[in-house]
A and B are shown apart, each in its own frame.
Chain A
């Protein structure tokens, strides 16, 4: 369940220590943009020690590694954190399938070196360039490690040579494209952070919009936005109630030997059943199921 993903700077002991209690379904220890070049080593060693020592309970740990264009930091990042079995690794500035293959091949090596099952480390590629967006489907299907896709609008709008706005019209295509690619590949898809940390209404609007496009969750750079994101990406009580009614109706139809049935005058077809099952699964995950 990844409704909310919270970025935490990888070299900040205070935030890393408290990352588990900020309400996010997942936390992203950032070894990339949030860490100065001369502190890359300190951050990855700190993150590794924290992951080893601290109990994050049910919070999923993701580590954002440096881009393969940057000084080989990415390999050192993987060397340090893979043995601690993070929930996922987030490769950055992913441009194409070859990029993922290169990362995945190196993770194979690290997994072997540490007597881990090869393929056990999962990936959530960050697409934040125009070429990455154009190759979204190829990337999403490039490797069995990929479990989710993530769009980063800050770098992307710079690459698109447009201004990043709160309304986000400039990234509509990219968002729709990555959702379509991810859904076609059968993986989850996470939306870019809303960066005005003081706009408590803006985050709700932006998260609702992302949900309407098909995103399964949203990242945040501020703990203040986590609750709003969780609320938006949780099924409402009405949705949960309806989902149970759908499944009940299906059961009854089966018992009565009926093929097609309707609920509130609407045909219950396979997509509606699938949606109901998804709603109940996420309701169970967040503890609001019956």
Chain B
């Protein structure tokens, strides 16, 4: 028996996809992904219209989707993150229906609960066998973990695996297994390795970023949480990675044995695992080749599903035991609400990803960002879009000062007398405005171009059209 189908075109026909239905993709191939564009091109050729794409993320590589929105093939988008030209086009109001943004935990929760139904899931797989057992750890387009693809594969009505590395049955080290898979298509290439994972992720060399990273590591050191059993997540931004690197030095010097590191995994987290800072890495996606290699070879480095990572409805998720998470921000306001969906002009250039999941689950959610970017102040009276509610954000670290959320007096007490530049949020904002001047408020259109669904399923904010 074999589930092999000759082409994407035939697989779409076999799936029974009709106009008005919802298809899904994962984003583990990131900006190197060829699969989404290839599938939607074939859907267009078949004359199917009015499709909703539920992808864990859209990148600049998916800009051809803009044409399919204009020609009516695609009428709705749902995701956790959106960047590049497609974000600019959506912000300008190209879609009639608002984009639905969910967090990395909220997306699988809604798929599993049935709130967000997927008719056909297309799973790009760096390695697969003829029955659909598949993995991201092997093959020329290896991306490491496939965490975001599990809910889609397990709960869509019909599941098509698309691979460029077909191996003899059975693939032993599978991530997603054949019991969920309807069809397998072999193509020449599922992606461009250069866009999938960077060769190595680099810590910042920017002196301002290093000052922030130093403050972040010192803050964690004095937070009261840095002791045996410590758990930690950080993003792949240059300053966050530098903070992780400083933290590693502190943990090794003080002989602290943490429990787990989590996230998007990079070389720096792998180094911390190898150095003994953690006994386990919990990996929902890999950012670089070192992470992919480690996931393949180190038994302490575990792939998890997006639900296991961050679902708000699972019996438990790994974010619930997180001590400290380091997160970014394009804007933060006086109430500590954070925006990572839009830039300061209101143009969509991101999304929650795991931002509001980890902020809610962790004991300390730390935002690290420069107080002034070019001429734009980080701190506003009210953010253009609330990605993560301020009540779950505990501390802001900038190069010129650190502000602790007033709802965390015990954290403030721990940081007093450490020499760290602790300031009131309002004073920090004044400092920023003194450097930049006061920006004129942005004027936005009346049309809602996106709805932001918080991890608990409630609508937390709307993003307005940019005019």
A/B: CB atoms within 8 Å of each other: yes
Q: Could you tell me the distance in whole angstroms from the C-beta of A8 to the nearest C-beta in chain B? A: 9
Say yes or no: A21 contacts B400, CB within 8 Å: yes
Q: Is B214 an interface position by the 8 A CB rule?
A: yes
Q: Could you tell me the distance in whole angstroms from the C-beta of B377 to the nearest C-beta in chain A? A: 13
The contact size tier of chain A is 10 to 19
Say yes or no: A223 contacts B207, CB within 8 Å: yes
Chain A residue numbers with a CB within 8 Å of B94 are: none
Q: Is B435 an interface position by the 8 A CB rule?
A: yes
Q: Is B210 an interface position by the 8 A CB rule?
A: yes
Q: Could you tell me the distance in whole angstroms from the C-beta of B210 to the nearest C-beta in chain A? A: 7
Chain B residue numbers with a CB within 8 Å of A54 are: 435
- Taking chain B's interface residues, is the majority helix, strand, or loop, or is none over half, making it mixed? helix
Interface 1/0 per residue, A1-38 and B, CB below 8 Å: 00000000000000101100111000000000000000
Say yes or no: B207 contacts A224, CB within 8 Å: yes
Q: Is B211 an interface position by the 8 A CB rule?
A: yes
Q: Could you tell me the distance in whole angstroms from the C-beta of B376 to the nearest C-beta in chain A? A: 13
Q: Could you tell me the distance in whole angstroms from the C-beta of B97 to the nearest C-beta in chain A? A: 41
Say yes or no: B210 contacts A18, CB within 8 Å: no
Interface 1/0 per residue, B392-412 and A, CB below 8 Å: 000000011000000000000
Q: Which of B210, B399, B434 contacts A224 (CB 8 A)?
A: B210
Chain B residue numbers with a CB within 8 Å of A227 are: 214
The contact size tier of chain B is 10 to 19
Say yes or no: A223 contacts B435, CB within 8 Å: no
| B208-255 contacts to A (CB < 8 Å) | 208, 210-211, 214
Chain A residue numbers with a CB within 8 Å of B210 are: 223-224
- Nearest-neighbor residue (CB-CB) of B399 within chain A: A21
Q: Could you tell me the distance in whole angstroms from the C-beta of B205 to the nearest C-beta in chain A? A: 9
Chain B residue numbers with a CB within 8 Å of A18 are: 207-208, 399
Interface 1/0 per residue, A215-259 and B, CB below 8 Å: 000000011100100000000000000000000000000000000
Assembled-state Cα–Cα distance A23/B214 (Å): 11
Assembled-state Cα–Cα distance A23/B399 (Å): 10
Q: Is A55 an interface position by the 8 A CB rule?
A: yes
Q: Which of A17, A224, A287 contacts B435 (CB 8 A)?
A: A17
Assembled-state Cα–Cα distance A278/B447 (Å): 67
Q: Could you tell me the distance in whole angstroms from the C-beta of A125 to the nearest C-beta in chain B? A: 27
Say yes or no: A22 contacts B207, CB within 8 Å: yes
Chain A residue numbers with a CB within 8 Å of B211 are: 21-23, 223
Chain A residue numbers with a CB within 8 Å of B207 are: 15, 18, 22, 222-224
Chain B residue numbers with a CB within 8 Å of A21 are: 208, 211, 399-400
Chain B residue numbers with a CB within 8 Å of A224 are: 207, 210
Q: Could you tell me the distance in whole angstroms from the C-beta of B373 to the nearest C-beta in chain A? A: 11
Assembled-state Cα–Cα distance A270/B48 (Å): 94
Task: Point out which of B210, B214, B372, B434 has the most chain A C-beta atoms below 10 A from its C-beta.
Answer: B210
Assembled-state Cα–Cα distance A55/B434 (Å): 9
Assembled-state Cα–Cα distance A222/B211 (Å): 12
| A121-135 contacts to B (CB < 8 Å) | none
- Nearest-neighbor residue (CB-CB) of A226 within chain B: B207
Assembled-state Cα–Cα distance A170/B419 (Å): 39
Q: Could you tell me the distance in whole angstroms from the C-beta of A54 to the nearest C-beta in chain B? A: 7
Chain A residue numbers with a CB within 8 Å of B214 are: 227
Interface 1/0 per residue, A54-68 and B, CB below 8 Å: 110000000000000
Assembled-state Cα–Cα distance A17/B373 (Å): 11
Assembled-state Cα–Cα distance A54/B432 (Å): 12
- Nearest-neighbor residue (CB-CB) of A18 within chain B: B208
- Nearest-neighbor residue (CB-CB) of B401 within chain A: A21
Assembled-state Cα–Cα distance A217/B207 (Å): 21
Assembled-state Cα–Cα distance A227/B435 (Å): 25
Assembled-state Cα–Cα distance A23/B211 (Å): 8
Assembled-state Cα–Cα distance A227/B214 (Å): 10
Q: Could you tell me the distance in whole angstroms from the C-beta of A143 to the nearest C-beta in chain B? A: 34
- Nearest-neighbor residue (CB-CB) of A227 within chain B: B214
Interface 1/0 per residue, A163-194 and B, CB below 8 Å: 00000000000000000000000000000000
Q: A54-B435, A223-B211 are in contact. List 17 more A-B contacts (CB 8 A).
A: A15-B207, A17-B372, A17-B435, A18-B208, A18-B399, A21-B208, A21-B211, A21-B399, A22-B207, A22-B211, A23-B211, A222-B207, A223-B207, A223-B210, A224-B207, A224-B210, A227-B214
**24 residue pairs from A and B, CB less than 8 Å apart:** A15-B207, A17-B372, A17-B435, A18-B207, A18-B208, A18-B399, A21-B208, A21-B211, A21-B399, A21-B400, A22-B207, A22-B208, A22-B211, A23-B211, A54-B435, A55-B434, A222-B207, A223-B207, A223-B210, A223-B211, A224-B207, A224-B210, A227-B214, A287-B419
Q: Which 7 A-B pairs have the closest CB atoms?
A: A223-B207, A18-B208, A21-B399, A21-B400, A22-B207, A21-B211, A22-B211
